[in-house]
Amino acid sequence: MLPIYATAADPKTGNPWDQYSIVNLKKGDYGMEDRLWVTAIFSYIFAAYFCQLLFYEYKNFSIRRLQFLLQADPDGPDLDPDTPPQKYYTVMIEHIPGKMRSAAALREFFERIFPGDVYTVEIALDIKELDALNAKRKRVRLAVVHCFYASTDDTLMQLLLMSYSSIAA
The answer as to whether 86 is a domain residue is yes
Please count the structural domains in the chain: 3
3 state DSSP class of 18: helix
- Termini Cα distance of the chain: 53
Structural domain boundaries, residue 101: 81-125
| One domain for residues 139 and 164 | yes
- Residues 137, 120, single domain; the answer is no
The rounded distance, in Å, linking the Cα atoms of 163 and 143 is 14
- The residue from 42, 69, 96 where one domain ends is 69
* Rounded distance between C-alpha atoms, residue 93 and residue 105, angstroms: 14
Note whether 117 and 134 are same-domain residues.
no
The answer to whether residue 23 is domain-embedded is yes
Q: How many CB atoms lie within 10 A of CB 8?
A: 20
In this structure, the answer to whether residues 6 and 59 fall within a common structural domain is yes
- Is residue 75 in some structural domain? no
In the structure, how many helices (H) and strands (E) does the chain have?
A: 5, 0
Q: Could you write out the DSSP letters of every residue in 105-136?
A: HHHHHHHHHSTT-----------HHHHHHHHH
Whether residue 59 is found in the same domain as residue 23? yes
Burial level of 79, CB count in 10 A (0-12/13-18/19+)? middle
Alpha-carbon distance of 88 to 126, in angstroms, equals 26
Residue 119 sits in the same domain as residue 145: no
**Same domain for 45 and 62?**
yes
Query: For residues 74 and 88, is the Cβ–Cβ distance under 8 A?
Result: yes
- Residue 93 in any domain: the answer is yes
> Per-residue pLDDT for the chain (169 aa), expressed as one digit of tens each?
656 666 655 556 566 666 666 666 666 666 666 777 888 888 899 999 999 999 999 999 999 888 777 765 555 656 666 777 677 677 888 888 888 888 899 999 999 998 988 888 888 877 888 889 999 998 888 888 777 766 666 666 666 666 666 655 5
105 with 133, same domain?
A: no
